[in-house]
Structure formats: structure tokens, C-alpha cells
Amino acid sequence: MTVLDIPELALVALVGVSGSGKSRFARRHFRPSQVLSSDTFRGMVADDENDQSASGDAFDALHHVAGIRLRRGRLTVVDATNLQPHARAGLIAVARAHDVLPVAVVLDVPEAVAWERTQSRADRTHGRQVLSRMQRDLRQSYGRLAREGFRKVHVLRGVEEIEAAEIRYEKLFNDRRELTGPFDIVGDVHGCREELEALLLRLGYALHRDDAGRPVDAVHPAGRTAVFVGDLVDRGPDSPGVLRLVMGMVAAGHAICVPGNHEQKLLRKLRGRDVRLTHGLAETMAQLASEPDSFVAETTAFIDGLVSHYVLDGGRLVVAHAGLKEAYHGRASGRVRSFALYGETTGETDEYGLPVRYPWARDYRGSAMVVYGHTPTPEPEWVNNTICLDTGCVFGGKLTALRYPEKELVAVPAVKEWYAPARPLVAPGATRPDTVLDLADVTGRRHLTHAYGTLTVPAENAAAALEVMSRYALDPDRLVWLPPTMAPCSTSTVEGFLEHPAQAFADYRAAGADRVVCEEKHMGSRAVVLVEREPGRFSGGAVHTRTGRPFFGPPLDGELLARVRAAVTAAGLWAELGTDWLLLDCELLPWSAKAGGLIREQYAGVGAAGRAALPAVLATLDAAAGRGLPVGELRGRMADRAAEVEAYSAAYRAYVGRTDGLRGVTLAPFAVLAGAGTSYADRDHGWHLALADRLCAAGPEFFTPTRRQVVDLADEAAVAAATDWWLSLTAAGGEGMVVKPYAGLAARSPKGSLLQPGIKCRGREYLRIIYGPGYTGPGQLAGLRKRSLGRKRGLALQEHALGLAALDALADDAPLWRRHELVFAILACESEPVDPRL
Amino acid sequence: MLLTLTTTHRPATDLGHLLVKHPDRVQSFDLPAGAAHVLYPEADEARCTAALLVEVDPLKLGGGRRRQAATPDSFTLGQYVNDRPYAASSLLSSALAKVFRSALRGESRDRPELAATAIPLEVRVPVLRCRGGADLAVRVFGPLGWAVAATPIPLDEAYPEWGDSRYVDLTLTGTLRLADALNHLYVLLPVLDDAKHYWVAPDEVDKLLRAGAGWLADHPERGLITRRYLAHRRALAGTALARLAELRLTDEPPADDSVEGGPATGDGAGSAPSAETPRASLAVRRREAVLTALRASGASRVLDLGCGGGALLAALVADRRFTEVVGTDVSSQALTLAARRLRLDRLPERQRDRIRLWQSALTYRDDRLRGYDAAVLMEVVEHLDPPRLPALEDAVFGHARPGTVMVTTPNVEYNVRYEGLGAGRFRHADHRFEWTRAEFAAWVERVATTYGYTATISGIGDHDPEVGAPTQLAVLTSTETGTRKEETTR
């Protein structure tokens, strides 16, 4: 039995004449979806598998599909004769373009067998001479395959060998997903043995020394594994010492190591190539000169055996000396190796004559954490889930390690500047490199997966959101969350009411919640307050509306923030919550402070027209009645209308307060959404409201408390009391209440699905400004009760789930593009057309 | 909504004959949006008043399922809570046409002579939305022989500081034929209201010309009346005005009848500020200045970033030296307008291939914009909040990196030369800032230094010795053009 070793991800080209049994072989060993057959593609593009004139188009299509499969990391088998160099060159090119290994499997059967099989097939009409030519091509192919670029060439000779062959998949060298750590990933050492020893000790390793007292291994009591990102050698005082220790750790299974460009260059020198002794190689060579030949030989073998990058911990961690872009993770090709060793350069050189490196990390959007070295910086910095650990120890900086999965940095300072840098160590840029977003992060039809579900954002919604986001919204770094839309309670059937608490409670009972909090619905505008103790990563913070616009703009937003900051400080929340920033969900009162224009344009205008028209109508009707005309019924209706317009006017006037700047403005916080490293979505509303109360106590003149009732839904008396409370709130013109699951924002049903975070139950009088002055009329109310809430509820939940994910992303300090993607999606959901009265 | 019609012609009760509605009865008529009632609050020998009361049924107006399928743009609360039940509008006109059909035509079986005679009339519309102010009511009714009293209605007596509403209480008095009076009301009430309740179809042109027979052709506000009556549909308004011109005996220059000046023509972010009196000329000069600078740069593949409705794009496309012209805007609506202006769907393939219109936002990096010879930011930067400018700088100068960038923006110092532009006010409601010459120069200098460009700054428009030119122009040229070219050829 012949065993064919094939990499798990490869492009497998079957090579053989017509009738050699390629399709049969492919069927036996691979899934149908893995096999791309030239016959099938000819049929696909020309309705005829034997139409040779369609071959060009058929192969174009085949190469395209093969390319897509390889990009997606799928093993792909090409079932075609592949007898001519140009045909194989096309496949090699596709494999190279996606950095997978091309493999050839040659099926070589005697020509007579092939001819017999050909003749037995009705759809093969070519003559014997064609087969003979193929056979000649096959003979000539043998010697060429490896040279053409096939990394493995398997030849199966004769029917029996083909029949008996088995496939065995082999992992790529870089695939160490089974290693789950925990790891201590160490930055560029450059011969700084002393600092490396100190760092390993600091990390908790015990050093093992040889008879000469030289460290040859280090062991962590908790079984942690050290990972070296390369550049162990050159420039520093003791490259052999570093090599001895690392080689010992790797040999003992206590460390793994990827090579750096300096190891690569050293290897070439050790192999006798003509390499210039620059960039510290001279020092290494001098140090190695006093080592025995056996050590030099060991070093050569060690470096030669290093794999340019590793994929670790189930694919969640990638280590490469100069970093690695996502498309190259777990791939194998010359350019992948080159990227891992040297990074990507722009082809330019800087003023110090050093190559300008392309900031690949800025574009990185992968989910795997990439840890690397290579580029010395004063402080390691997270950029889109990647981090460079080279802190220039040999240049007098420090030697840094990253504890994984803890994401903790541990460093020891350099003993001295061992080597003068060619250019000063500066941070990559004044601004964080990941503050720049790409249009591709947000536009087009997008599928989003997050911890609370998945979602597809239609392209047109994203397009609409793009306009709002880029023209009106805050900068993405400070726009960390947007409030989800809120569905009203199911439509009430209580006489004269469209919305009633009974229905809100019934909705939550049905969803499986047993305890709710009823919060007064403030008559203001939603305001999200991000407040920082002192200007830092959020430049002090921001106040924004439900669509992400700065609330008032400067300077009022700054003054407002200052008041919130003072109250948080006075309430002692910074220390208590262990944070230097807080994200608060609030309502800003009165509504006219922000929506004065809307109230005047939209609501007051209607009132003015009604209040002027109806008295004139009534006067006319009264005069007609005076003449004995039968207008009684009409007059009655018009009098009702007049009363409704008065009630409507009272409803909007309740939202008007006289304000001047912040004078007359108050803020009603009702949830504390997040602080440094934490989302408070798991805290119950008792906790949230207690903190809100403390802010009110700290700044009673600026903060408005939120009145509420906690209701056990099984307790009929409590339900009745809450209903009465709502009736009294709303009779006085109040907007109503929001009912929320007491357990908090992330409350779930007994079945485990997210509950609506809140259901609004709006007052009968208030709804006049939503549904029209006369909506309570029996005819109208009956029509309005047919309203459908499904879409609104669906959106509310979708946006809520995105919001929870955004809070988590904020707490985890996820890359900006990810945080923004979630917030952007909430805004995109908002451009979905729904009945604005809901 | 209510309209009353009073005459003091003796016997005043003849009004009943003219309207074909008996003064001693209350008559009701079904309308698509509710009901119309005709009744007489007074009717004697000396004075007779007919009242037309339209009772709107909110369920029949807008709240239905059908409207819910409308585009998101029209999907607003105003659709449900509005003044339509109270204010005179095209609904009243429709009712008028239905209820007083023969009177509107000037026909009367019982009183034919009276129908042809001018009689003293008083019309009152207690609530009329008068878009453009009470003065406009005088301008449209005055030339027709009416004495006009239009009293503004306060917005809310509880808040006197809010001032007047958009509504007036309108009283017209005059001696006219009843039919003329009714036709004036039929056409002009919706014109003042300026919000038709139904879709304006081409047959509206005929309706307008019929109702306007004998008075519209020579009316000094015929342009405005026609545009508004036809709901600002330009093609219809053009047809109607052309036909009116044929009817007109006098031979005036046609300038008055321009159909320009309807709703925003969609110049988008690039629109000229309303305060600029010689509006067109500055916009044109700005365009010319940018074109000249573009030609001088030798660019052939160019970006118009924030292209709006495509005014500059059209000029770029007209010049063959620009082999590729890309317009980007964040507003997909603006791009639709630009596509229409460029007649993209009708261009031959070879022309079409030179033009691309992409939605893009200047606060995000966009790979599609890389590698162009030149980019234009014409009247764009001032539409961005200042904290967002660094994102634009990175996206344009850092990422797209065109060889040359033209930036124009208002010179705020010049604003004092605009009459009617209050101190501290910007030229356009959406401007987030306007820069002095020094501020612009400092920004240009910083951007140029940061991103490797050299810059020259000049002015567009008449140079004022004290405050400079109204528009500022900076041309930034990349200092690394050489290396970039090399890379492309490699």
C-alpha cells in the first residue's frame, strides 16, 4: 500500500492521461465539493463536457473557484489531465497566490488500459493517437514537476498501486494549534543574556545551569511555555549565552521559538555565504569564535530547524518575528516566510537609510492575536489585536514579555545601552495607529457575529448610516455605544387606552421574567454621557444623542461633563468602581432644551392652526344654529375636536421648560453602562438606580432622580399599585414609564434568550402628540389597535444585542474597528423603516 | 378647515342661486379625505354668507397601510400629526371644485347675468398656512383686485416669545365675478400652502391653465404660482410657463419665468452659500479656478471628493484630458442626482467608462481612492466638525495620497461684505466652521508638513483689499511624486 502524504491545506493536481482513472481516484479519496474537474467546468460554461473550444473559459472559471476555496482555507483537488506545463503553471500560480503548497499526484497506467477505458466511454471520441500524445506528455512531465514548483510529487504506477493508495494528511509545521499555553512571549533579546535571565526569573521560571554555571534551561513551576519571537542574537554582549539557554529550553520542551531576520543572516554566514558583518553580526561572530565547533554546529542546526511562524492555541494566537497579516496565518510559501522574518516594506528608505515598514497592523482585522517583535519601540502598544514586544533592550531600553492569555506585560530594564541605535526609538505615531478606520469596516452588506447573536446589515442601511455617522456623529473613539430603540407594550384593549401597564406586565410574564422595575419615563431627550475623570483616552468624554450626535456641541457639552464629573467625584464612584471613566445612560430634561425647534415647528404649529380654526368653525355653526339650521350633530363633533386640540396643546406644553444654556437643564441618569475593563450589563437595576441616586444626592441642583416601582409580577397587589402609580403619573401629563427586567440589561428568559431590555408604556394624554389630538376617539382607537409591533421588537432586540457586544468590546479594549463596527451596526439598524409612532 | 364667502349685493341671498346651494339647508358631500358641509351662518337681503367646512377624517388621511410602504424619507411623525384638518390647503380646493362646480365655471341657470357681473365679495379663510410670509398673500391676491388682510396667528399664546406661526387669518375684499373669485381661491390657496395632498400628474398643467384663464398669464407672480401649483416639478412647470408665454400678449423678456429656484437642486456639500448674492457667478468662478488648477497640474485621473450633485463633475467630463473622473459623496441621494445630471445611463460606453460615482466618507480610509493624480475638496472641509478633520486628513493626504489636492473653503473675513448675513453667522446652515485666511493657511501648512506636500494659497472671486477674496483655494502638491511614479512602473 502506498501512502500519500498531503498537507491539510494544499492544491492537489491530479496528473494523468485520459482514462488513467483520475476522476475515480478523486471520488474515492476526496469529498465531491473538494474536487474541481475540468470536464464539469466545461459543461458548466458550454453545456458540453467535451467542447474543447470552451477549455480556456472553463479553466478560467476553475482557477477562480480554486482561488476562492484556497483563500478560505479549503483543500482543493484539480481533476484535469494536467499534462502540459502551461496547464500546471496556472495551478501553481493559484496555489502561490494563496500561499498554499501545490502537490502533484501522478496516475500512470499502461496506455492499453487507458485506451480500453476510453473506448468504453460513449462520450470520449478522441483517437488513439491523441492518447499516445498524452502519454508522451506524461513521460516528459515526470522530470519537470518538482522544478515547476510542486512541493510534493507522488507517482502511482499501474492500476494496482493506484487502487491500493491511501491518503494521509499531515499538519503544516506552523500548525501548533494544539498548544494552548499558557505562554510567556518574549521580545527581541539580541544577545542580552543577563536581562533575559532576569526576565525569566521575574516571570517565575527557575534557571538550570550547566557545570560552568551557564544557564541551559528554565522551567516554570506552573508548566508555562516560553515563546521567543526571534532576534536572539547580534549586537548584544552574549549571543552564544542566549542561544545556549533558548536552545536548551526548546530542546527540553519548555519553550518554542520562531526565527528572526538576525538568525537568518547568521545562518547564512555560518554556512559560509558572503554576508556583510553589519548590524551587530560582527559581535556575534566574534563571540562565537570562542565557542567550540560543536556549539556552532548545534546553533546552525537549531536555526535551520526553526519554523517562521506558529499558529497556537486553537488558532487564537499567532507568533512571528515581524508579525503576520491574516491572509498568511497558517500558510506556507516563500513570501509568508519573508513577511514573518522581515515584515512588509514600502520599498522606501527613511532618513537613516533603513527600510520603511508598511504598517500592516493598522490594517489587521483578524480575530487571532498576533504577537511579534522586530521593530523597536519605547512601549509596547496594542494595535488591532496585535502587539510588538521589541522594546529595544540592546539599545538600552527594556526586555519585555507578554503573559498569554492574561495579556499582562512584564519587563526588565536593560543593564546598559549595549549598542547605539541607528535611529532613535520613537512611538510609531503621535496618534494611535488604530484610530483610523477603513470604509470596508462598515459599508456594504455585512454579516456580523458577536457574543449575543448574528446579524446581517443590508447595504442600503449601512449606506444611510454612513452619512449620519460621518457627517454628524462624534468621533468613533468616543462613540462607544448607542441606545437601542425601544418597543412599546402590546396594544391594550382597556377602554380608551392604546397602551396600559397591564399589557407591559403581561409581556414580561409571557417572556418568563418574574420581577421588573417600572421607571418613570422622563420627559426629555436621551443623552449618553461618557465621562472621564481627567482628559485621557476619551479626551475627557462626550455627551451624545441617541444617534451619536454631540448633544449641544461646545461649549455646553463640556460644562455638562464638568458637572457630571464633579458629581461622580463627590459620590466617590471613581475609587469605588475602580475606574477613571464611566458610561452613563441618561435623559436630559426638559425636552425643549434639545428639541425646542421640533416642538415649535411640528407640535406648536399644529396646535396653533387647530386653536385658531376650531373656534371660527364653532362660531359659524352657532350662527347657523341661530338661524334654525340643523347643525347640532356637526357642532358636537367640532366641539370634541376643539377639546382634543386643547388637550393636545397641554400635552406638548408639558415638554417646554425655559432654559438658557444649562440653566433650567437637568440630567436624569438611570443606568451605569460601563467603566474601565467592565461592562455593568450584568448588574441589576437596583444597583444602577442606587448609583444614579447617589449622583442626584451629590448634585441635587443638576440631577433629577428617577421615580420607580419594583414589581414582583406574581404579586397582584404590587401590580395594581404600579398600575395606579402609572395612572397618576400620566394623568398629570407624564410621558409614562419604562418597564425593565429587574435583573439588568443582560437579563435572559428561563430559556436563555435575551429579554427586551425595556418596554415603554406611554401615557394616554402624551400619545396625543404621537397619534394625533383625536386618537382616543372610538373609531380611531379601533383602527390604531391594529398596529403591528413585531418589526419594532425585532429591531429593539437586535440593537440591544449589538449594544451589549459593544459594551463588552469596550471593556475588553477591543480594536477600534471592531468597536466601531458594532456601534455602526446599531445606527444602521435605525435606518430600517418602522412606524415612527411606535 | 373653513372658508366663508360673503356678499352684500342685493338681494344677498342670490348667492345661494349662484352657488346652487340653498341658504336654508345644510348640505354635506363625501370627499376622499372626509366630508364637506355647506351652510349659511347668515342669509338676508343685505348680507349673505356661505360657509364651506371641510371635516377631515384622520383615518382617511395618511394613516393608512398604503402610506406605510412609503420610503423612509417620508416616514415621519408629521405624516400623522399635522395641520391638515385645520389649515386651508389643496384639500379645500378639491372640495371647492367638487361642491361649487358650476359656479367655478361661471355658469348659473337661475342668475346668468349675475354670474357674469362683478359683485362685492368678502372671503375669509381663518387659518391658511402661508409659506413665505403674510406678505406673499398680498403679492398673489393683490394684483387680482383684492384688498388683502392677512393677520399672522401667534404660535402659542402660552409662549409669546415664540412669535408668530406660519399661519395667517386671511380676509379678501373686492368686487369681482364670483367665478373669478372662486378660481383665484382654487389656484392660490394651495399655492400659499405649498404642500399638495396628492401626486401632481401632467394633467395638472391643463387644470392650472383652465383655472388661471384670463388672469394667470399676466400675473407678476406667475412663475412662483406655476412652480408651486405644480409641486415644483420642473418639467411640468416649464411646460406650463411656455404655454402661458404663448397666451401672453405682452412681450417681456423670459427671465422672470426661469424654473430655477425650486427645491434644492442638490448641489449637496458643494452648494453655494445662500448669502452670496452673485451666487451663480461665485460658484462658476470657483469651478473655473479649480479646473484651471487641475489642468495646470497635468492630472488625468482625478477625484472630486464630496462631489454633491455633480456640478464640477460635468465640467471635468467635458474635458477629454481627464481620462478618469471619480465623484464621491457620502450622500447616496447626491450621487443619484449627479448620475442624473451626467446622464450616466445614456452615455456611450466609452464615455461612461471614464466616470465613476462612489459613495464614500472622507472620515474613513478608502482603498479605491488610492493612486489618483489629483483630488478636489471643493467647499467640503467646512462641512465637517473640527474634531473629525484629522480623520479626513489621514484618509485623503495619508491614505489616498493624490499627487495634487485642491481645497476650497469660504474666507470668513469676507462675510462682512454680505448684506443680511448677521455677525457670527456662517454662509450655509451646515457649515461647522469658516476659516480666516490665517486659519486656513495654518491648516494647509500643517497638513502639507505632516503628509509631505507643498502648498500655494490663493483667492477666488473679487479680491477685497481689506478682507480678501470670498473663497480661498489651496493647491497642495505631493513632494514624492517622483518615487510614486517609479513604483508604479516597477
List the single residue in A436, A602, A831 with the smallest CB-CB distance to B394.
A436
pLDDT in tens, A54-100: 999 999 999 999 999 999 999 999 999 999 999 999 999 999 999 99
* DSSP-derived pairing of the beta strands A10-15 and A101-108: parallel
Please name which of B363, B369, B399 lies closest in space to residue B381, comparing C-alpha atoms.
B363
| Cα A746 to Cα A528: distance, rounded to the nearest angstrom | 18
pLDDT in tens, A519-543: 999 999 999 999 999 999 899 999 9
The residue among A384, A606, A652, A829 with the most chain B CBs within 10 A of its CB, best to mutate, is A606
Q: Do A612 and B126 touch (CB under 8 A)?
A: yes
| Cα A409 to Cα A401: distance, rounded to the nearest angstrom | 6
Q: What is the CATH number of domain B268-489?
A: 3.40.50.150
State phi, psi for A426 to the nearest 5 degrees.
Answer: -130, 155
Q: Do A608 and B58 touch (CB under 8 A)?
A: no
Contact indicator for A374, A261 with CB cutoff of 8 Å: yes
Determine contact: A437 vs chain B, CB below 8 A.
yes
What distance in Å separates residue A835's CA from the closest CA in chain B? 7
| Cα A20 to Cα B18: distance, rounded to the nearest angstrom | 102
Kindly report the CA angle at B143 between B137 and B145, in degrees rounded to 5?
A: 100
Determine contact: B386 vs chain A, CB below 8 A.
no
What distance in Å separates residue A538's CA from the closest CA in chain B? 12
The residue among A441, A620, A656, A781 with the most chain B CBs within 10 A of its CB, best to mutate, is A620
The sign of the dihedral angle between the CA atoms of A18, A20, A26, A27 is positive
Strand ranges, E, within B155-236: 164-177
Q: What are the CA-CA distances from residue B303 to residues A587, B327, B458 (Å)?
A: 43, 6, 21
Contact indicator for A362, A436 with CB cutoff of 8 Å: yes
The average confidence (pLDDT) of chain A is 93
pLDDT in tens, B333-390: 889 989 988 988 888 888 899 999 999 999 999 999 999 999 999 999 999 999 899 9
Q: Do B359 and A463 touch (CB under 8 A)?
A: yes
List the single residue in B58, B362, B490 with the smallest CB-CB distance to A780.
B58
Q: Do B390 and A624 touch (CB under 8 A)?
A: no
Chain B positions in Cβ-Cβ contact with residue A833 (cut-off 8 Å): 71-72, 75
Window B:141-170, CB contacts with A under 8 Å: 153-156, 158-159, 162, 165-167, 169
Which portions of chain B are predicted below pLDDT 70?
A: 59, 61-79, 197-198, 243-280, 481-490
Kind and range of the H or E element at A653? helix A632-653
Determine contact: B431 vs chain A, CB below 8 A.
no
Determine contact: A44 vs chain B, CB below 8 A.
no
Beta-carbon contacts of residue B406 (< 8 Å; ≥ 6 apart):
B290, B293, B294, B374, B375, B376, B377, B378, B473, B474, B475, B476
Contact indicator for A15, A138 with CB cutoff of 8 Å: yes
* DSSP-derived pairing of the beta strands B118-129 and B2-7: antiparallel
Start-to-end C-alpha separation, chain B: 76
Determine contact: A600 vs chain B, CB below 8 A.
yes
Determine contact: A469 vs chain B, CB below 8 A.
yes
Chain B positions in Cβ-Cβ contact with residue A637 (cut-off 8 Å): 55
Chain B positions in Cβ-Cβ contact with residue A620 (cut-off 8 Å): 2, 4, 39, 41, 51, 53
Beta-carbon contacts of residue B413 (< 8 Å; ≥ 6 apart):
B436, B437, B467, B468
Strand partners, A70: none
Window A:332-351, CB contacts with B under 8 Å: 347-348
Domain ranges of chain B: 2-198, 268-489
Contact indicator for A184, A399 with CB cutoff of 8 Å: no
What distance in Å separates residue B87's CA from the closest CA in chain A? 6
Confidence at residue B271, expressed as pLDDT on a 0 to 100 scale:
38
Strand partners, B324: B301
Contact indicator for A641, B57 with CB cutoff of 8 Å: no
Q: Do B41 and A835 touch (CB under 8 A)?
A: no
Q: Do A836 and B41 touch (CB under 8 A)?
A: no
List the single residue in B25, B365, B384 with the smallest CB-CB distance to A438.
B365
Confidence at residue A362, expressed as pLDDT on a 0 to 100 scale:
85
Whether B2-198 and B268-489 share one fold: the answer is: no
Buried b (16+ CB within 10 A) or exposed e, A407-417: eebbbbebeee
Q: Do B39 and A836 touch (CB under 8 A)?
A: no
Q: Do B487 and A467 touch (CB under 8 A)?
A: no
Chain B positions in Cβ-Cβ contact with residue A617 (cut-off 8 Å): 2, 53, 126
Chain A positions in Cβ-Cβ contact with residue B195 (cut-off 8 Å): none
Start-to-end C-alpha separation, chain A: 71
Confidence at residue B275, expressed as pLDDT on a 0 to 100 scale:
44
| Cα B439 to Cα A420: distance, rounded to the nearest angstrom | 42
List the single residue in B41, B366, B399 with the smallest CB-CB distance to A624.
B41
Could you tell me which chain B residue has the CA closest to the CA of A658?
A: B159
Size of interface A-B (CB pairs under 8 A): 185
List the single residue in A475, A600, A613 with the smallest CB-CB distance to B155.
A600
Q: What are the CA-CA distances from residue B59 to residues A780, B29, B63, B66, B85 (Å)?
A: 7, 17, 6, 12, 11
Chain A positions in Cβ-Cβ contact with residue B58 (cut-off 8 Å): 772, 774-775, 780
* DSSP-derived pairing of the beta strands B404-410 and B374-378: parallel
Q: What are the CA-CA distances from residue A316 to residues A118, A175, A508, A790, B380 (Å)?
A: 50, 12, 39, 38, 43
Could you tell me which chain B residue has the CA closest to the CA of A614?
A: B86
Could you tell me which chain B residue has the CA closest to the CA of A775?
A: B58
Place of cell 354670474: B115
Exposure of A236 by Cβ count < 10 A (0-12 exposed, 13-18 middle, 19+ buried)?
buried
Confidence at residue B153, expressed as pLDDT on a 0 to 100 scale:
95
Could you tell me which chain A residue has the CA closest to the CA of B4?
A: A620
What distance in Å separates residue B284's CA from the closest CA in chain A? 26
Please name which of A164, A47, A29 lies closest in space to residue A103, comparing C-alpha atoms.
A29
Please name which of A654, A592, A648, A656 lies closest in space to residue A772, comparing C-alpha atoms.
A648
Instruction: Indicate the pTM of the whole model.
Output: 0.81
Please name which of A751, A737, A594, A570 lies closest in space to residue A665, comparing C-alpha atoms.
A594
Confidence at residue B256, expressed as pLDDT on a 0 to 100 scale:
33
Which three cell numbers, joined as nine digits, stand for A256? 518554542
- Please state, as a whole number, how many other Cβ atoms lie within 10 Å of the Cβ of residue B51: 23
Residue at A466: amino acid letter: L
Which portions of chain A are predicted below pLDDT 70?
A: 350-351, 353, 426-434
Q: Helix, strand, or coil here: B274?
A: coil
Q: In what order do the strands lie in the sheet with A759-762?
A: A487-488, A759-762, A736-741, A515-520, A708-712
Determine contact: B35 vs chain A, CB below 8 A.
no
Determine contact: A629 vs chain B, CB below 8 A.
yes
Could you tell me which chain B residue has the CA closest to the CA of A348?
A: B483
Confidence at residue A203, expressed as pLDDT on a 0 to 100 scale:
97
Contact indicator for B14, B111 with CB cutoff of 8 Å: yes
Determine contact: A590 vs chain B, CB below 8 A.
no
List the single residue in A606, A608, A614 with the smallest CB-CB distance to B81.
A606
What distance in Å separates residue A477's CA from the closest CA in chain B? 11
Contact indicator for A437, A817 with CB cutoff of 8 Å: yes
Please name which of A294, A311, A306 lies closest in space to residue A232, comparing C-alpha atoms.
A306
Which three cell numbers, joined as nine digits, stand for A245? 539557554
Please name which of B477, B478, B433 lies closest in space to residue B457, comparing C-alpha atoms.
B477
Chain B positions in Cβ-Cβ contact with residue A470 (cut-off 8 Å): 330, 361-364, 388
Contact indicator for B286, B411 with CB cutoff of 8 Å: no
Q: What is the CATH number of domain B2-198?
A: 3.30.1610.20
Residue at A94: amino acid letter: V
State phi, psi for A223 to the nearest 5 degrees.
Answer: 75, 25
Q: Do A475 and B391 touch (CB under 8 A)?
A: yes
Strand ranges, E, within A326-452: 345-349, 355-357, 369-372, 382-383, 386-388, 398-404, 408-413, 446-450
Q: Do A605 and B165 touch (CB under 8 A)?
A: yes
Please name which of A678, A700, A673 lies closest in space to residue A688, comparing C-alpha atoms.
A673
Contact indicator for A264, A275 with CB cutoff of 8 Å: no
Beta-carbon contacts of residue A478 (< 8 Å; ≥ 6 apart):
A530, A538, A539, A541, A542
Place of cell 402661458: B244
Kindly report the CA angle at B479 between B478 and B484, in degrees rounded to 5?
A: 80
Q: Do B86 and A463 touch (CB under 8 A)?
A: no
Q: Do A436 and B365 touch (CB under 8 A)?
A: yes
